[in-house]
Amino acid sequence: MPNEETPGLILVTGQQDEANRRRITEAADAAPVRFVTSMNEAGELLGDAVAIAGTVSAAHLAAAPKLRWVHSWAAGANNDLTPEMVASDVVLTSSVGNGAIPLAEHSMLLMMMLNRDVPRWMASQRARTWDRFTHGELNGKTLGIYGVGHSGSDLALKAKAFHMRVLGCRRNHETLVPGIDEMYSPDRLIDFVAECDFVVVTAPYTAGTAGAFSADVFRAMKPTAYWICISRGGIADDDALLRALQEGWIAGAGIDAHGVEPLPSDSPFWTAPNTIITPHNGATTPGTAQRGVEIFVDNLRRFVTGQPLQNVVDKVHGY
């Protein structure tokens, strides 16, 4: 850790307003702080940096021999976990939890849009036609949350307000979570999805979750059920998901996080039946950005005073 005699440089990337720059500088105490728009502007500053807030590549890591800590502005650390970072002694922290509130809201939005067939109403509005039809309601439906972390936990409470039954599936399945009626282990994923009217993926992308939603899993879902992903693409086998939608294994999908991003203009997902596409910005809110700053400021105070950091990424498990 930096000390009072020879404080190391704190390098902060991104567009920070004056209020946040002042709060970051105050949290750094005696350690000097430099603000840059991106790591491309870091240059020779890397040689003195002991802490960086931003995305650090293998080249950046090699050019920063004094580096002790990297904080990712992202909640998911998969893009930060290069082989070089994993092999290094540099502590990696993330902004996990900063987007929990809007991601839970986005999940509820997609569930309601799919359940009530909102695209049909929007099409009728464009056509200026009065199209009344019988639609669903969330009351009494079963929601399955795959990956009950920050956003999953917040989603469980929001779903309870809609009088839904809520199931959870995660590695640490023995820990009780408010709002979850029953927890499943990942090895019971087939049993888990078979119970659900909605499956919402809030899990990080890791070696354990990559491709977890295979053809067998989608076939185990109810043909009336919907699949929603708001965390990371690649957790579903895209070919299996597309077949599930095109062949009616499931009723539809709401996809914010995609296997390939940006989603190519010729991707068949754009026109898949009963599918709502959003461009991975369910958590793109001012509140998310500010909560990320709050997490970093708290950790910066801890760093300069030698206290344990929060949100430390387990480089083995990937989150």
Q: What is the pLDDT, as a whole number, of residue 319?
A: 83
With a CB cutoff of 8 Å and minimum separation 6, the contacts of 241 are 213, 218, 227, 253
Q: How far apart are CA 74 and CA 134, in angstroms?
A: 41
Counting the structural domains of the chain, the total is: 2
Mean pLDDT of all residues in 283-288: 96
178 in the same domain as 113: yes
63 in the same domain as 211: no
Q: With bands split at pLDDT 50, 70 and 90, how would you rate the model's confidence at 4?
A: very low
Share of the chain above pLDDT 90, in %: 92
107 in the same domain as 224: yes
109 in the same domain as 54: no
200 in the same domain as 211: yes
Mean pLDDT of all residues in 173-193: 95
Strand partners, 293: none
122 in the same domain as 135: yes
Q: Is residue 4 part of a domain?
A: no
Q: With bands split at pLDDT 50, 70 and 90, how would you rate the model's confidence at 163?
A: very high
CATH code of the domain in which 223 resides: 3.40.50.720
239 in the same domain as 125: yes
Asked whether residue 3 carries a pLDDT value surpassing 70, the answer given is no
Q: With bands split at pLDDT 50, 70 and 90, how would you rate the model's confidence at 248?
A: very high
Six-digit token string for 262: 């940006």
251 in the same domain as 296: no
Segments in the chain forming alpha helices (H): 18-28, 58-62, 83-87, 100-115, 118-127, 150-161, 189-194, 215-220, 238-246, 286-304
Average per-residue pLDDT for the chain: 95
Taking a C-beta distance cutoff of 8 angstroms, is the pair 236, 213 a contact? yes
Share of the chain above pLDDT 70, in %: 98
Q: How far apart are CA 278 and CA 282, in angstroms?
A: 8
Closest C-alpha among 44, 39, 41, 30 to residue 1? 30
169 in the same domain as 129: yes
Q: Is residue 192 part of a domain?
A: yes
Q: Is residue 312 part of a domain?
A: no
183 in the same domain as 39: no
Q: For the whole model, what pTM was predicted?
A: 0.90
Query: 26: domain range?
Result: 9-97+286-304
